[in-house]
Amino acid sequence: MPIENLGHEYEFEPQHGLPERLPSDEFIVWQGSPDIGALASSAFHMKKLTLYFIALIALCAWPALESGAGVMAVLNGIKWIAPLAVISLTSLWILAYLTARTTVYTLTNKRVVMRLGIVLTVTFNLPLKQVASADVRMLDGGFGDITLALQGSDRIAWVHLWPSVRPWRISKPEPTLRAIPNVQEVAVKLRDAWTQKTGLAANATTDVQSSHPHSDNFEVSLT
């Protein structure tokens, strides 16, 4: 079963997150969407950009503050950068919100289905037999990413997956379930579904990337 891109071939969903109803021998193991806050922070770098704009505003305001000028002088110094910061951060938050609301990840006993797209909806079917490994990256609050490395020659364009893709893997994109709640529980369900589908044993280790190094993290190795 190759990787399928079902494209925008339907105007409504007969089943939430899926382009068609599942066959009688297939069932949903887990279904979810990115958390808006976690997605904004990890994929759109809201925290880093907020700190960046705070530093710029402080830099612009510093001459007036250092000279002891009044409030109006300080406001005049940041009259361009402050609105730019508000517009930029608000736009990113709206983009993160729309992305989270329109993205649905579905794990069945046979495949991973990714419904993506704000304006043009596309759906990708990733058969479990083509998943070579799954790496878990923990974020704050129990959220996290699960990156899927695929076997075979089929490729999905990086731009078609973004932001549900591992950063900087352009030549060989790796689909990623981004900013999902209870990521460790989902990883275990993925491991169990993969094992049942392939009949092979999956391994779990404790060495993965993390946004906070002292958390309990693990990698689900499906090879």
Per DSSP, the residues of 103-162 read -EEEEESSEEEEEE-SSS-EEEEEEGGGEEEEEEEE-GGG-EEEEEEE-SS----HHHHT
- List the domain range (segments joined by +) for residue 214: 4-11+127-221
Are residues 82 and 139 both part of a single domain?
no
Tokens at 216, concatenated? 């309990």
Please report whether residue 115 resides in a domain: no
Are residues 80 and 139 both part of a single domain?
no
pLDDT given for residue 154 in this prediction = 77
Please report whether residue 90 resides in a domain: yes
Please report whether residue 24 resides in a domain: no
Please report whether residue 61 resides in a domain: yes
CA distance 15 to 35: 21
Are residues 63 and 135 both part of a single domain?
no
pLDDT beyond 70 at 159: yes
- Burial of 28 from C-beta contacts in 10 A (0-12 / 13-18 / 19+): middle
pLDDT given for residue 93 in this prediction = 96
How do residues 64-106 score in pLDDT, each as one tens digit? Answer: 777 777 778 878 878 888 999 999 999 999 999 999 999 999 9
pLDDT given for residue 214 in this prediction = 38
Are residues 207 and 138 both part of a single domain?
yes
How do residues 6-35 score in pLDDT, each as one tens digit? Answer: 544 455 667 888 888 899 999 999 999 999
Please report whether residue 23 resides in a domain: no
pTM of the model: 0.82
Structural domains of the chain, count: 2
CA distance 145 to 95: 19
Report the side by side order of strands in the sheet with 104-108. 4-5, 122-127, 111-116, 104-108, 28-32
- Please give the radius of gyration of the chain, using alpha carbons only, rounded to the nearest integer: 21
